[in-house]
Amino acid sequence: MNIKVCGITQLKQLQQLDGLNIAFAGLIFHKDSPRYVVGKIFKEELQATDFDVKKVGVFVNAEYDEIIQTVEEYELDVVQLHGQETPELCEQLSEDVEVIKAFAINGNSSIDKMVADYDEVCDYYLFDTASKEGLHGGTGEKFDWKLITKSKIEKPFFLSGGISVDDIAKIKAFKHPDYFGVDVNSRFEKGPGVKDMALLLQLRQGLKK
């Protein structure tokens, strides 16, 4: 089971995630996010490190040039597109970096239709909870995972949205042939962008059992 921890804002915590063998760490480059990483972790610091954890840059409706420049400066391994990015942009980016396309899910979502145009241009999908407040992730709310079980998808995907340590049994019980991992954020924080490492360790150990 792969774990992605999103909203990292401290180099020390990125190092701690690496020590916990967390697979993916999300760095948010969307200025409106309370977990905006610029000015908190510096590109020179990342350039001087050698972590096994994959660094994921999270963007919302950013332009190609901005994304690629950030990939190079922060030595990102993956980009996560959390807005209304087109398949064309995903395809363009996928020539240089792995791409996660995120989709906001509500009770009326037809997931197979949502992902159809992205099937050939992304490496992963991420399914998060649609927010009425216009937020792009980090809402702390769940969507109905049954919507996923009814969908073909045919691409490795992350489940996201309001996942906490109380969901360990539910995470382990969830079945889908393309289920790749979970994405966690706000339910594992002491404050915006400051993770509770004890809770993350509890999650990591709980999913190993």
* Whole-prediction pTM: 0.94
Cβ neighbourhood burial of 12 (10 Å; 0-12, 13-18, 19+): exposed
The DSSP-derived string for 24-55 is EEEEE--TTSTTB-TTTS-HHHHHT---SSEE
Confidence of residue 50 (pLDDT cuts 50, 70, 90): very high
Q: Across residues 14-21, what is the average pLDDT?
A: 97
- DSSP lists the bridge partners of residue 2 as 181
Count, residues in the chain: 209
pLDDT at residue 162 tops 60: yes
| Residue 3 three-state SS | strand
Q: Across residues 195-208, what is the average pLDDT?
A: 97
pLDDT value for 139: 56
d(CA 23, CA 7): 14
d(CA 143, CA 178): 18
pLDDT value for 209: 82
pLDDT digit string, tens, across residues 90-145: 999 999 999 999 999 988 889 999 999 999 999 999 999 987 655 445 556 789 99
Task: Classify strands 194-195 and 157-160 as parallel, antiparallel or unpaired.
Answer: unpaired
Share of the chain above pLDDT 90, in %: 90
Confidence of residue 9 (pLDDT cuts 50, 70, 90): very high
Confidence of residue 182 (pLDDT cuts 50, 70, 90): very high
pLDDT at residue 191 tops 70: yes
CB atoms under 10 Å from CB of 200, counted, come to 20
The two counts, helices (H) then strands (E), for the chain are 8, 10
Phi and psi dihedrals of 36, rounded to 5?
-60, 125
Q: Across residues 158-174, what is the average pLDDT?
A: 96
- DSSP lists the bridge partners of residue 124 as 100
pLDDT digit string, tens, across residues 143-160: 999 999 989 999 999 999
The DSSP-derived string for 120-153 is TT-SEEEEEE--TT---S-------THHHHT---
pLDDT value for 130: 87
pLDDT value for 108: 83
pLDDT at residue 198 tops 90: yes
Q: Which CATH superfamily is domain 2-208 in?
A: Aldolase class I (3.20.20.70)
